[in-house]
Structure 1
């Protein structure tokens, strides 16, 4: 798995993707081989957003939103499915730029030998991944997870996730109830224009979700001027 992750990660060079610096297989350093990436003192995006010493305006949050979308667009353009997009896998660099990391269950599409059986982390999983017949993530499920990052992982709201599952086995009724509800989110933080895009990303049928490049093209139009 480590070799697979390194192979995928090494193909990605983008401002919003955590860089891979190399592999360490020195047993004096670690008992098992490890992948080396930069250390960012801010940690993951959840820590950054709840850091009391950092004042974030709406414009700052909008930049985080578009940064994560830009990183995911680049990943998908390289025919790679991330498969585990969540708050812990988006780190913040010294300039406050979000960087997507952890390609442990990612896969290269249309490439023999790179099929991952991973379906991600339960609270961020798309509804189809709870199906007994589902074996892997897709670009569509990545888009679903990206939209959850915006609302449930505090980028726009600074609030904890609402009503997300913690177990991988759900009834059909539970799965249909996964879609976030408009009434649960502040319209000043999650504007109606934002919600219209997010709601499309949460479409129950995967093929009805927009591609991430389609989403990214709409983001600059959402909050006029980025005013706080």
Structure 2
């Protein structure tokens, strides 16, 4: 923890050798087994569940905000859009209303409602589903369309296509689709997702 950065303390983290999950998945000459991919997802799910249990919403979970250490273990980073869900004024310094990467953000955060919706546990679940898709397939969500078309697809309930590059088990694909449900209240809970990944 460092101080002297405006109103908030700054977090200083150690160097992570393998970089981001996105880069790790794209690494040339690296074979990542299905078991290793699932182990990454379990650890990310457990970390996200812990964050939520502390009344914090990440708000910007993407393949670029998960770091992979030298032992292949994931670490969630970049809490720039996170918010504390209880005990603080939600308009505080802890968050911005601008969502992170468009391919991972929940559709309800893209709407034109006033006041704008804030990231939530449910929007983090949507983002986790996108991380699942990316990790299991090696393809970013909505890899079949350009960035500019992604908001339209999300707002209109169009889900990403099931990639054929790396086969995704049917149970995992159904869970991804459940995480990406357009109705936030219908998305699964993290303990249920983690239990499925551990089977």
Query: TM tier, shorter chain?
Result: 0.7 to 0.9
- CA pair 208-174 structure 1, distance change in 2 beyond 3 A: closer
Kindly state the Cα deviation for residue 159 of structure 1 after the two structures are TM-superposed: 2.6
CA RMSD, aligned part only? 2.5
- CA pair 203-48 structure 1, distance change in 2 beyond 3 A: same
Partner in structure 2 of residue 123 of structure 1: 103
Partner in structure 2 of residue 110 of structure 1: 86
Distance (whole Å) between structure 1 residues aligned to residue 150 and residue 27 of structure 2: 34
Of 190, 193, 198, 1:215 maps to: 193
Structure 1 residue ranges, 4+ long, deviating more than 6 angstroms after superposition: none
Kindly state the Cα deviation for residue 39 of structure 1 after the two structures are TM-superposed: 0.2
Partner in structure 1 of residue 28 of structure 2: 52
Of 177, 182, 186, 1:199 maps to: 177
Of 73, 87, 93, 1:97 maps to: 73
Partner in structure 2 of residue 157 of structure 1: 137
Matching of residues 1-228 of structure 1 within 5 Å: 22-23=1-2, 25=4, 35-115=11-91, 116-118=95-97, 119-133=99-113, 134-151=116-133, 153=134, 155-161=135-141, 162-163=143-144, 166-167=147-148, 170=151, 175-181=155-161, 184-186=162-164, 189-221=167-199
Distance (whole Å) between structure 2 residues aligned to residue 70 and residue 53 of structure 1: 29
- Of stretches 65-74 and 118-127 in structure 1, the one that deviates more from structure 2 is 118-127
- CA pair 59-131 structure 1, distance change in 2 beyond 3 A: same
* Equivalent residue pairs, number: 189
Kindly state the Cα deviation for residue 149 of structure 1 after the two structures are TM-superposed: 1.1
- CA pair 188-35 structure 1, distance change in 2 beyond 3 A: closer
Where 1:125 maps in the other structure, the secondary structure is coil
Deviations 1:136-192 (A, max 9, x none): 1111110001111121x3x11123442466359955x762243123xx323963110
Distance (whole Å) between structure 2 residues aligned to residue 53 and residue 24 of structure 1: 41
Alpha-carbon contact 1:84-1:106 (below 8 Å) kept: yes
Larger Rg: 1
